């Protein structure tokens, strides 16, 4: 676990009116005001307020650890046996947290005068010298990863008999801490986090690295909607030396094949990601681990079924259950074959922008679509009225052609609806960059989209119908026209008066018109 220093007010009696202490590149520490910055009394270097905001995780020194003003609280001791010791050119300041692999400390890099996180790896009875060498070798491999969603490792070494890593210090908190303090994470945000994790895992797989400990506690928030994956490949790595190694990791996230002794794969990380994603969205694990021993709890993964919430929450699309079910499949072959396929699936259920489209583009798109449909139907209508005129003049008795041509005109709406069914946008929406989404911000289902288009284009369907009917029944044609005008009026009033700029057909079909964005580009940008 890593976290940034926590900003809070320092006791005024210690000489700092603001409580924020800046560590200059010259080594001097001095109080600064986060809103205006300051000047180093030693080297006279100016520190701007923007620099303090952007680099607080690397340059701000915090005192008074017992303060009640801290934003996040962690159950760690303010000091231990390693506090104030020097590891290489890193001076240990205080513990930040710990886990099964080791303890993470906040430390000062004395060579570059910046704060980092130093992880001192535990040495236990089963942790042989060869295993330690393998762990450090994999840490060096991780250090070669250059990805915005992977915690950067700066240094790998030993201090006496204690191996340690120096890595970037992040603002935090971890997603586990956020779950504990704030509860479930909104669906759209959780999916974007998952995309970033998969991007990081895909990059690591190119170096033959498997993380093997995906969980919320190893996902650290790095600001601007970005997260970073920590402890990469340290607890479990895909090497021949690990083939006989006992099972290790976090019981709630260990894939069934690992419990069965079948080894690691990228599908093992996918399983842990499935558990993590379920936990982020619903605030709990997908099933309860039962048993008194760790082995019993691990074996739960081999038999337990996913306990989806009942009733299904309206804030989460049903497509999410399909994704989680595939990630948590007992057979690793039933999961995704590669990360590209998983990324495509995640991006397909990631909500797009829900910024409602304006009245002007919607109106222009509607008018354009109606004109296109009417122009498509016009040749049939003109032919029918021409034939009817010839019949009344007595020049040609081809009355039977009228219903045939009228029936043939249905090919126009049929082709239009077929294009919509295949996922193509209408000409109006394409030109004015509009997109239809369902209530969760996802592309609507076909059975949802086609009825919407039928209602939306009622004028283009019904107006020619009224003309055809008028040839034989004027009053029926008038009834159709009255119903059409009434529907258009209600539809338009609903659009302009109701919230979210939703017309009647959008309320009936649970859809919304939003500004079109390239979802894949947006998600990749968020992860980089």
Structural domain containing residue 434: 359-527
What's the confidence (pLDDT) of residue 74? 37
- Say yes or no to pLDDT of 114 above 80: yes
Q: Are residues 400 and 510 in the same domain?
A: yes
CA angle 365, 368, 374 (to 5 degrees): 140
Say how far apart CA 353 and CA 2 lie, in whole Å: 32
Confidence at 8, pLDDT banded by 50, 70, 90: very low
Cα angle 421, 348, 179 (rounded to 5 degrees) comes to: 140
**Is 204 in the same domain as 90?**
no
pLDDT class of 526 with cuts at 50, 70, 90: very low
299: domain CATH number is: 1.10.510.10
Same domain, 124 and 206: no
- Count Cα neighbours of 384 within 13 Å in the Cβ-side half-sphere: 23
Opening angle at CA 133, ends 130 and 134, nearest 5? 85
- Residue 464's pLDDT band (cuts 50, 70, 90): confident
pLDDT cut 70: percent of the chain above it: 77
The last residue of a domain, from among 314, 348, 382: 348
* pLDDT above 60 for 496: yes
pLDDT surpasses 70 at 84: yes
Amino acid 470: pLDDT? 77
Residues in the chain: 528
| In a domain? residue 3 | no
* Pair (58, 152) in one structural domain: yes
Please give the average per-residue pLDDT across 156-171, as a whole number.
Answer: 84
**Which stretch of 41-55, 91-105, 332-346 has the lowest confidence by average pLDDT?**
41-55
Coil vs helix vs strand at 103: strand
Least confident of 33-42, 84-93, 352-361, 387-396: 387-396
Q: Are residues 284 and 254 in the same domain?
A: yes
Residue 2 counted as domain residue: no
Same domain, 98 and 125: yes
User: Is 354 among the domain residues?
Assistant: no
Domain boundary among 317, 348, 379: 348
Cα(486)–Cα(4) distance, rounded to whole angstroms?
A: 61
Confidence of residue 223 (pLDDT cuts 50, 70, 90): confident
- Single out the residue in 319, 348, 377 at which a domain terminates: 348
Q: Lowest-pLDDT range, 31-40, 373-382, 394-403, 418-427?
A: 394-403
pLDDT at 394 over 60: no
Predicted confidence at residue 245, as pLDDT, reads 52
Q: How many CB atoms lie within 10 A of CB 207?
A: 12
Stretch among 54-58, 116-120, 411-415, 508-512 having the lowest mean pLDDT: 54-58
Mean pLDDT, rounded, for 125-150: 72
* Inside any domain, residue 4: no
DSSP structural state of residue 426: P
Residue 340 lies in a domain: yes
pLDDT score at 202: 93
pLDDT tens-place string over residues 182-210: 999 999 999 999 999 999 999 988 877 88
- Give phi and psi for 240, each to the nearest 5: -65, -25
Overall average pLDDT of the 2-24 stretch? 44
Strand 46-47 and strand 38-39: pairing?
Answer: antiparallel
Q: Is 4's pLDDT higher than 50?
A: no
Q: Which class for 57: exposed (0-12), middle (13-18), buried (19 or more C-beta within 10 A)? A: buried
Q: Is the pLDDT of residue 370 over 70?
A: yes
Q: 85: which 2 tokens?
A: 């010791």
C-alpha torsion sign, points 508, 510, 514, 520: negative
The mean predicted confidence, pLDDT, of the chain is: 78
Query: Which CATH number goes with the domain that contains 79?
Result: 3.30.200.20
Instruction: Kindly tell me if the per-residue pLDDT of 261 is higher than 60.
Output: yes
- Do 509 and 367 lie in one domain? The reply is yes
What's the token pair of residue 126?
A: 């089963």
Q: What is the mean pLDDT of residues 478-493?
A: 86
Band (79; pLDDT cuts 50, 70, 90): low
Q: Spell out a b/e string for 6-41, using b for 16 or more CB atoms within 10 Å of the CB, else e.
A: bbbebeeeeebebbbbbbbeeeebbebebeebbebe
Is the same domain home to 340 and 301? yes
- The pLDDT, as a whole number, for residue 38 is 80
Question: Three-class SS of residue 218?
Answer: helix
Does residue 73 share a domain with residue 216? no
User: Does residue 321 share a domain with residue 380?
Assistant: no
Are residues 431 and 453 both part of a single domain? yes
Average pLDDT over residues 162-168: 87
Neighbours of 518 (CB within 10 A): 10
Residue 16: pLDDT above 50?
Answer: no
In a domain, 41, yes or no: yes
Question: Is the pLDDT reported for residue 23 higher than 60?
Answer: yes
Domains: count for the chain: 3
> Nearest-CA neighbor of 16 among 56, 62, 58?
62
Answer yes or no: is 478 within a domain: yes
How many alpha carbons lie under 13 Å from residue 232 in its C-beta half-sphere?
Answer: 31
Catalytic residues: 213
Q: Show Cβ contacts of residue 73 under 8 Å, excluding neighbours closer than 6 positions.
A: none
Q: DSSP of 466-481, one letter per residue?
A: HHHHHTT-HHHHHHHH
pTM as predicted = 0.69
* Pair 62, 7: CB distance under 8 Å: yes
Confidence of residue 247 (pLDDT cuts 50, 70, 90): low
**Contact call for residues 237 and 249 (beta carbons, < 8 A):** no
pLDDT at 110 over 50: yes
**Is the domain of 276 the same as that of 134?**
no
Q: CB neighbours of 382 closer than 8 A, spacing ≥ 6?
A: none
pLDDT in the model for residue 439: 78
- Round to whole Å and give the CA distance between 345 and 406: 43
Which residues, 6+ apart, have CB-to-CB distance to 408 below 8 Å? 380
Residue 1: inside a domain: no
* Angstrom distance (rounded) from CA 342 to CA 480: 50
How far is the C-alpha of 6 from the C-alpha of 177, rounded, in Å?
14
With tokens 């303010």, the residue in question is 78
């Amino acid at each position: 676990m890593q976290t940034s220093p926590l900003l809070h007010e320092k006791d005024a009696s210690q000489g700092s009116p603001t409580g924020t202490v800046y560590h200059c590149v010259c080594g001097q520490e001095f109080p600064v005001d986060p809103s205006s910055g300051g000047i180093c009394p030693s080297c006279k270097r100016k520190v701007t307020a923007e620099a303090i905001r952007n680099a607080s995780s690397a340059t701000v020194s915090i005192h008074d650890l017992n303060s009640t003003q801290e934003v996040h609280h962690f159950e760690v001791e303010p000091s231990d046996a390693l506090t104030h010791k020097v590891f290489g050119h890193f001076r240990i300041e205080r513990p930040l947290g710990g886990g099964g692999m080791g303890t993470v400390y906040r430390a000062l890099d004395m060579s570059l005068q910046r704060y980092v996180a130093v992880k001192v790896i535990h040495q236990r009875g089963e942790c042989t010298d060869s295993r330690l060498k393998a762990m450090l070798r994999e840490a060096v491999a991780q250090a070669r990863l250059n990805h915005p969603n992977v915690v950067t490792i700066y240094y790998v070494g030993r201090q006496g008999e204690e191996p340690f890593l120096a890595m970037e210090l992040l603002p935090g908190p971890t997603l586990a801490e956020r779950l504990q303090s704030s509860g479930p994470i909104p669906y759209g945000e959780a999916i974007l986090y998952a995309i970033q994790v998969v991007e990081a895992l895909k990059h690591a797989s190119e170096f033959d690295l498997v993380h093997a400990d995906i969980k919320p506690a190893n996902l650290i928030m790095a600001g601007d909607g970005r997260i970073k994956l920590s402890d990469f490949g340290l607890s479990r790595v895909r090497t021949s030396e690990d083939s006989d190694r006992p099972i290790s990791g976090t019981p709630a996230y260990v894939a069934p094949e690992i419990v069965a002794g079948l080894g690691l794969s990228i599908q093992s990380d996918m399983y842990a990601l499935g558990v993590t994603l379920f936990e982020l969205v619903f605030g709990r694990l997908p099933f309860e681990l039962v048993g008194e021993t760790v082995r019993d709890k691990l074996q739960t993964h081999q038999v337990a079924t996913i306990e989806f919430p009942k009733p299904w929450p309206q804030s989460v699309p049903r497509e999410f259950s399909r994704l989680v079910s595939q990630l948590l499949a007992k057979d690793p072959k039933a999961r995704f074959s590669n990360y590209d396929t998983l990324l495509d699936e995640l991006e397909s259920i990631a909500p797009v922008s829900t910024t409602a489209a304006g009245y002007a583009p919607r109106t222009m798109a509607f008018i354009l679509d109606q004109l296109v449909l009417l122009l498509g139907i016009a040749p049939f209508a003109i032919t029918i009225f021409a034939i009817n005129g010839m019949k009344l003049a007595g020049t040609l008795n081809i009355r039977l052609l009228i219903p045939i041509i009228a029936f043939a005109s249905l090919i126009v709406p049929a082709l239009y609806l077929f294009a919509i069914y295949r996922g193509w946008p209408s000409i109006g929406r394409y030109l004015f960059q509009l997109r239809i989404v369902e209530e969760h911000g996802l592309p609507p289902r076909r059975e949802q989209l086609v009825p919407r288009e039928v209602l939306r284009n009622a004028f283009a369907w019904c107006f020619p119908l009224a003309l055809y009917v008028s040839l034989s029944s004027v009053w029926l044609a008038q009834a159709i026209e009255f119903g059409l005008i009434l529907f258009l009026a209600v539809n338009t009033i609903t659009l302009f008066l109701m919230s979210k700029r939703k017309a009647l057909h959008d309320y009936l079909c649970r859809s919304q018109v939003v500004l079109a964005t390239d979802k894949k580009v947006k998600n990749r940008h968020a992860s980089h």
